[in-house]
Amino acid sequence: MESFWLCDDCLFAAAYEDYSTLSLYYTTDETGERIAAMQCGLVRLMPISADFDPVAGWGIKAFSPLPCDGCGSPLHGQRHRFTRL
């Protein structure tokens, strides 16, 4: 099975279709661009399913220097594993 690592922003977009936190970090124009990039990236990966357990701690990289497989963001940070169905 093919796995992908998604940033926190893509996690919330894929799981809940929630983009509300983006406005805390980006301007209105940047938020729109970021949402478009995230949607495009996630559609390319679909169908996917979460493949991590926050309680047990597996499938989560607390800090990763790799870009997000969903939106391509080069920002370092937490990544969550998803698997293509």
| pLDDT the model gives residue 27 | 93
**pLDDT of 39-83, one tens digit each?**
999 999 999 999 999 999 899 999 999 999 999 999 999 999 999
Residue 29 has which token pair? 């124009």
Q: What is the mean pLDDT of residues 22-26?
A: 90
pLDDT at 12 over 90: yes
Which residues pair with residue 60 across a beta bridge?
Answer: 80
